[in-house]
Copies of this chain bind each other. A is one copy, B any other.
Amino acid sequence: MREILIIGAGRSASSLIQYLLNKSVTENLAITIADMSIVAAKKFTEGAPNARAIMLDVFNEKERRAAVQKADLVISMLPARFHMEVAKDCLTYGKHMVTASYISDEMKALDSKVKAKGLVFMNEIGLDPGIDHMSAMHVIDRIRDKGGKMLLFESFTGGLIAPESDNNLWNYKFTWNPRNVVVAGQGNAAEFVQEGTYKYIPYHRLFRRTEFLQVEGFGKFEAYANRNSLKYREIYGLEDVLTLYRGTMRRVGYSRAWNMFVQLGMTDDSYQLQETENMTYAQFVNCFLPYSPTDSVELKMRHSLKIDQDDLMWEKLLELDLFNRAKTIGIKNATPAQALQKILMDSWTLEPQDKDMIVMYHKFGYELNGERKQIDSNMVLVGEDQIQTAMAKTVGLPVAIAALKILNEEITTPGVQLPIKREVYEPILKELENYGIHFKEFTTPYLGYNPDNLT
């Protein structure tokens, strides 16, 4: 029996655990599911052969080390900041490790020691980061093999509501951590490069500089820029590329409406408002509008954001019940972002029958034999229900597949790494297709942003 320790039994772990449980008999896997909550862990192990649940506080060194020592491979599905304790133990006791998180500097620093022990520490192997790396390198390597030179790489991902559950004016519901949605894009300006020119978009303009994307069978989407596009030059070996842009996908119209909150300052998470516990929704809105003893919050809002009488933006606000004089925030010392999240959760929380959807869209521009060409590649996955969501599958299945392939010595290159090597992405992408995670490719004329090559 090969021992797998899975730490963290949250929502993102369901498909991952299910995959490994399904394989446990044929693959001789003994699976330990560890969580702070024994109830959460036991949810998965009931009636499952070869599986047991344990309670584990990752900061309890003794418990953690005992659990790691028994395993052959450890999967950490904890938030990224908790990985390091586990990683150090894995190194000490010579265990492989898999995470779906970005490689931290601390994690990276373990690389030579991990290599020296012949261990595989595979990271960034969820959805984004994860499937994005694999599906991008799959096309980029092919283009290079043919002798093509990459000119453009754009990549977009969105966690959205499935078309059959899409029944509000925002075409959006919280299918994942609501907090991340409310604070999305904050921090430094978004930085990217277009036709060799660096571009920067500050947060307060981010949601007004969107691009459109068309996905066959699913209609039109829009995307706003991610902050960190440029770091992918190094990761993908795209140092010479003229255009590099990564973004987040939403249904058309979402960003323009979301921008209303950004403009008013309602998404700010850096300071606390006064007296939020008994603050009504309308009072919350009024915090960000000029004082008036006579004018309504509604009219001040319309005036401040220049919302015309017949503008659909207004209907979107009304749908959220934003001007309610009875409902209260109910949180002490809430930041604007926390208060806004509370209001949005009234409207954007999934109904029991709702399904989610993941959309990913890549554009690859390149030059081959003096000709400029483009490949578009996209993937759409709709969730089955609220356990086997599209998000849980796309995050968890690559982790699970990678874990098994490491145990089976199909993935062997040692070190702290992400899945950009053929050895890794080829078999994993292939197997993901069995679960409906399938990229379609289209050849399109390459235009870039400067079709006539003007200088």
Contacts and interface: CB of A to CB of B under 8 A. Distances in A.
A94 interface: no
A293 B449 contact: yes
Interface of A: 188-189, 191, 194-195, 197-202, 204-205, 209, 263-265, 268, 270-271, 273-275, 286-294, 336, 449-454
A1 to B, nearest CB: 51
Given A195-B293, A200-B288, A202-B264, 4 more contacts: A189-B265, A189-B336, A292-B449, A293-B450
Contacts of A194: 291
Given A205-B265, A271-B188, A287 B454 contact: no
Contacts of A209: 290
Contacts of A205: 263-265
Nearest to A291: B194
9 pairs of A and B residues whose beta carbons are closest in the complex: A202-B265, A293-B450, A194-B291, A204-B204, A293-B454, A188-B271, A198-B274, A291-B449, A200-B287
A199 B298 CA distance: 16
A271 B450 contact: no
B287 A202 contact: no
Contacts of A336: 189, 200
Nearest to A275: B198
* Candidate in A275, A291, A294, A451 with the most chain B CB atoms within 10 angstroms: A291
Contacts of A289: 199
Contact of A199 (B197, B201, B271, B287): B287
B195 A287 contact: no
Copies of this protein in the assembly total: 2
A454 to B, nearest CB: 4
Nearest to A208: B304
Nearest to A267: B202
B201 A265 contact: yes
Contacts of A293: 195, 449-454
Contacts of A451: 293
* Candidate in A293, A450, A451 with the most chain B CB atoms within 10 angstroms: A293
Contacts of A195: 291, 293
28 contacts: A188-B268, A188-B270, A189-B268, A189-B336, A194-B291, A195-B291, A195-B293, A198-B275, A199-B287, A199-B288, A200-B273, A200-B287, A200-B288, A200-B336, A201-B265, A201-B288, A202-B204, A202-B268, A204-B204, A204-B263, A205-B264, A209-B290, A291-B449, A291-B450, A292-B449, A293-B449, A293-B451, A293-B454
